[in-house]
Chains A and B, each alone.
Chain A
């Protein structure tokens, strides 16, 4: 059982290589078998180690702090389950195509192995290697369609993420010089000795800079809509739902590691999150391309997650942010996959051109509506739970609460805009025989509803959280939601629909690669001044 982490990293990689070498339709089914195998292994692992996670630590070659080690805890295990689940969804969704496309399966399965490794590593340089490898594979997956747009988006993603990851590497070097080792557990026990050193603080700044690029925080988010807007829908679902969360996972891990140092990050990253959320919503409101709207909403939801995660560990708000990562992974995958089916049937991405989805594709529409209700935070759906936990954490602090409320109104507005596609007459579209696609969407929609209703049991089972104070059947919750919706509707009718000049200006706003890098440097300097000089 101890070596299950190794198996679940290498089973997908081995399968990927075999699929690439044999190029056979029937061999491709091996992907599903491998996926089933790692699911079973993971469940067994979970039952073997629940409650005594300190025993999961092991060193490769028994070299102790000189070597590399893997370790798991509640958070990483929850992420492992989420990743395997997401890959199941994407594999099933694309398997019609994937049966014959062995290249695609190769990259997809390899990415899974690498991502599962990233979640479990207990070594800083090992983390860097995994980060680099994910960056390269994701670039290839973004450029997979081989069109001009996807090439441009892929290269943009590669360059800006590489510069971020290099900052992360410089941070690791500084830490290595300070501590003489790069074992995360060792550093976290020894960090209070050097907690005041400029080297440690600067390492923190550089690593957070890298993580900010990876997970699209406020000034350095521009790669995300480009990348997630042009790639195939299933890939967008995987990237938006999960791979971006790799950055947030590192944010949790690194803040855990630096917990003993003299760093007070709560306030700073709360405002970074708030800015990310507001800016993401602002851009999403102006877009007319369905996938761009969804991609910008990923940014705004990451902002909301950051508002929660920036709070101290063990506080309720932190777990609210953590739960929102999971909820967002579910409903954003659902929305992207649904958008993929609709775009394929209508052969258009424009919100204004698609009409009558409700009559043409009733099943898909119902699932899409579940996803929309979840993302806007309706009671009885999963988005409501995590948003409420975050809301309770900041309800007393005036302006912070109002920012969250404004973001909620913006989300409601832009999904009111998106829901226009359901109305209208039935149109003749291409008949799609997409049974596996519908099954995946159904599973995701079902998961959204289950998490929205049985959150008390699930919260206790995974994180040991008491969530009883959140009640779904409270009038105030319904009132809040109705208020947000009606203000959103008003805002949509008055400002967004007439398409005034500022809206058009935001829509056509393009940030060059040069400016993006410039902003990255500005972000690093601001962090240095905030964390070191002040």
Chain B
């Protein structure tokens, strides 16, 4: 009790320091932010500035963010108790405990969700969204598929292999700009000579690859966990 009270006091101190440090700043500096606002569309060909930062200005970071998912997937597969072949065996969710209403609605929602996911991925450079977000939506749609068809078999080994190949492809495509513009990890089309329409081709390709990679990665993770939960 005394311990918890003391902890509360400590956290209060930390919070008040945090509060005062924010009060001290009269206004936030926006050096980078205003740069992105002004030049984002012209330089990267993406009207969605988040995508322009993710896939161009800070593509180097995004490669490793995708790498975190890749490592997490292979780590979970390695650490989980079951062998990889066992996971391919038929599945998982208890058929009798799932309400019929839920299954029926899942059938209805599944194609819409999948289409929405693909829309988010492909239009990542014009509207909110992108590879990471769309990939998560597609993975959720696949999760719903497990409720619809409880006997479904998943070949995790194949998915993991495809995921690794996709990551390799992303690395290769991201570094292609070295040959066209002489610098790593940016759009292969120079903004000086190509218009934003041409530049967006590169963004779409990268978004689709990242989207599939994320979807496959999340698919593997929750399949591994479902098996583990049994």
Q: Report which A residues bind B (CB closer than 8 A).
A: 3, 6, 10, 13-14, 17, 20-21, 58-63, 65-68, 103, 106-107, 110, 114, 117, 125-126, 129-130, 132-133, 136-137, 139-140, 143-144, 146, 151, 174, 177-182, 197-199, 201-203, 205, 518, 521-522, 524-525, 528-529, 532-533
Please tell me if the beta carbons of A199 and B24 are within 8 angstroms of each other in the complex.
yes
Would A136 and B72 count as touching, CB distance under 8 A?
A: yes
Task: Tell me which of A10, A63, A117 contacts B57 (CB under 8 A).
Answer: A63
Q: Is the CB of B59 within 8 A of A61?
A: yes
Q: Give Cα distance in the complex from A13 to B70, angstroms.
A: 12
**B10 near A: Cβ within 8 Å?**
yes
Task: List residues of B (64-84) whose CB comes within 8 Å of A's CBs.
Answer: 64-65, 67-68, 71-72, 74-75, 78-79
Residues of B contacting A140 with CB < 8 Å?
Answer: 71, 75, 78-79
Give the A-binding residues of B (Cβ under 8 A): 3, 7, 10-11, 13-14, 17-18, 20-22, 24-25, 28-33, 35-36, 43, 56-61, 64-65, 67-68, 71-72, 74-75, 78-79, 161, 164-165, 167-168, 171, 175, 177-178, 181, 183-187
The 5 closest A-B pairs by CB, nearest first: A61-B186, A180-B29, A180-B31, A198-B21, A140-B75
Docked complex Cα distance between A81 and B177 (Å): 29
Secondary structure at chain B's binding surface: helix, strand, loop or mixed? helix
CA distance A178 to B64 in the complex (A): 26
Contact B28 A20 (CB under 8 A): no
- The residues of A that contact B59 with a CB separation of less than 8 Å are 60-61
User: Can you name 10 extra interface pairs (CB under 8 A) apart from A144-B78, A521-B7?
Assistant: A14-B168, A21-B168, A61-B184, A62-B186, A65-B35, A107-B74, A136-B75, A182-B32, A197-B21, A521-B14
Q: Are B184 and A522 in contact (CB under 8 A)?
A: no
**A129 contacts B7, C-beta separation under 8 Å:** no
Does the CB pair B21–A133 fall under 8 Å? no
Complex contacts, A132 vs chain B, CB 8 Å: 68
Contacts of A533 in B (CB 8 A): 17
Query: What's the Cα separation between A174 and B23 when bound, in Å?
Result: 12
How far, in angstroms, from A106 to B78 measured CA to CA in the complex? 12
Number of A-B contacts (CB under 8 A): 149
29 contacts between A and B (CB under 8 A): A3-B184, A13-B67, A17-B164, A21-B164, A60-B183, A62-B181, A62-B183, A63-B43, A68-B60, A110-B67, A126-B60, A129-B68, A132-B68, A133-B71, A136-B68, A137-B71, A139-B75, A140-B78, A151-B79, A177-B28, A180-B31, A181-B31, A181-B32, A198-B24, A199-B22, A201-B21, A202-B17, A524-B14, A525-B13
Query: Which residue of chain A is the closest to B4 with respect to CB atoms?
Result: A518
Inter-chain CA distance A410–B35, complex, in Å, is 57
A60 and B184 contact, CB distance less than 8 A? yes
Query: Within the complex, what minimum Cβ distance (angstroms) separates B139 from chain A?
Result: 19
Contact (Cβ within 8 A) A180 B161:
no
Chain B residues within 8 Å of A202, by CB: 17-18, 21
CB neighbours of B28 from chain A (8 A): 177-178, 180
User: Smallest CB–CB gap between A332 and chain B, Å?
Assistant: 26
Chain B positions within 8 Å of A521 at CB level: 7, 10-11, 14
Q: Please measure, in the bound complex, the distance between the C-alpha atom of A62 and the C-alpha atom of B72, giving whole angstroms.
A: 31
Asked if B31 contacts A143 (CB within 8 A), the reply is no
Cα–Cα distance between A272 and B13 once the two chains are bound (Å): 21
Task: List A contacts of B31 (CB < 8 A).
Answer: 65, 179-181
Residue from B17, B24, B64, B161 within 8 A of A21 (CB atoms): B161
Known: A180-B28, A180-B31. A66 touches B164 (CB 8 A): no
